[in-house]
Structure 1
């Protein structure tokens, strides 16, 4: 008896979530389809019911994770754009994010060093996610400050870079100082939030 669409969709989500986690730790080349499917408790054959290649899975995992970040979520009712953006930036530039808390893990920061070795489709998905981040921040920030595209580009570069660098540091005090300095600079750039 064939699986239902709901079962297939749920299985696909499990594969995407687990693959993002593995790719962010081991990189594209460090993860095999067997590793991935074993991690999900599934067989290798089941992989091909969802994806045609590991490269397709990598691209889809990047988009899946990006769609589930707080920045992609809706602003709570009764929260100003400035309050929401301040909350998002503080969460992004946090120790929990650096450590890979599931609800925060941004593919831009977690895959930044691995993405350059990928094919054009994967690089395009990464670029789309990056542009989406810039657009979302600009929408919130433009409602209360006169920041421009250059401000937003420098803010997102600082945020992504800070998290990527912090993930390589071993000393928690150094990580916290880096994140604190970037929160301050990003806040100043976005109207003192």
Structure 2
């Protein structure tokens, strides 16, 4: 008896979630298809029921993780765009985000260096996620400020870079200073949040 569509979708999501966790920790070259499938308790055969290559899985795992970030969530009712953007900015540029489980964090910050070694299709997926982040921030900021596309591009690049760099620093005070400086500058660019 064939699996239901629901079961197939659940299995695909399980593979995507588990694979992103490994890619975020070990990078594309650091894991094999067998590693990826063993990590989620499935066989290599299950892999090929969903994906044609490890590169395709990497690309899809990146998009899957991005779709479940706080920025991808809908703004809660009763929260202004400015309040929501402030909350997003503070959460993104926080010690919890930097020190937290890499596999639950923003894929843009944690795959920034790994993505450069990937194929054009995977780089395109990364760029799409990045542009999606810009679009979301721009939508929230447009409501209360004259922030333009260049301001948004610089803010998102600073946010991603700050988190990526902060992950490499060993000194807690240096990390906190970096995050605070970037929160301040991003807040100014985004209309004083």
1: distance between equivalents of 2:103 and 2:188? 26
2: distance between equivalents of 1:25 and 1:10? 23
Deviations 1:64-119 (CA, angstroms, capped at 9, x unpaired): 01111111110001100000000001111111211344795111111000001100
1: distance between equivalents of 2:18 and 2:115? 18
Q: Which moved more, 1:154-163 or 1:171-180?
A: 171-180
The reply on whether 1:89 has 2:89 as its aligned counterpart is: yes
For the Cα contact (< 8 Å) 2:71–2:136, is it kept in 1? yes
**2:151: which partner in 1?**
151
In the alignment of these two chains, the number of paired residues is 193
Cα 1:32–1:103 change in 2 (3 A) is closer
**2:184: which partner in 1?**
184
SS in structure 2 at match of 1:191: coil
Cα 1:46–1:38 change in 2 (3 A) is same
**1:62: which partner in 2?**
62
Shift of 1:5: 1.3
Please give the TM-score of this superposition, normalised by the length of structure 1: 0.96
Deviations 1:129-157 (CA, angstroms, capped at 9, x unpaired): 11111111011011101111111111001
1: distance between equivalents of 2:40 and 2:97? 23
1: distance between equivalents of 2:106 and 2:54? 20
**2:135: which partner in 1?**
135
1: distance between equivalents of 2:95 and 2:51? 34
**2:106: which partner in 1?**
106
For the Cα contact (< 8 Å) 1:91–1:104, is it kept in 2? no
**2:41: which partner in 1?**
41
For the Cα contact (< 8 Å) 2:17–2:65, is it kept in 1? yes
Task: Give the RMSD, CA atoms, in angstroms.
Answer: 1.3
Unaligned stretches of 5+ residues in structure 1: none
Shift of 1:173: 2.2
Unaligned stretches of 5+ residues in structure 2: none
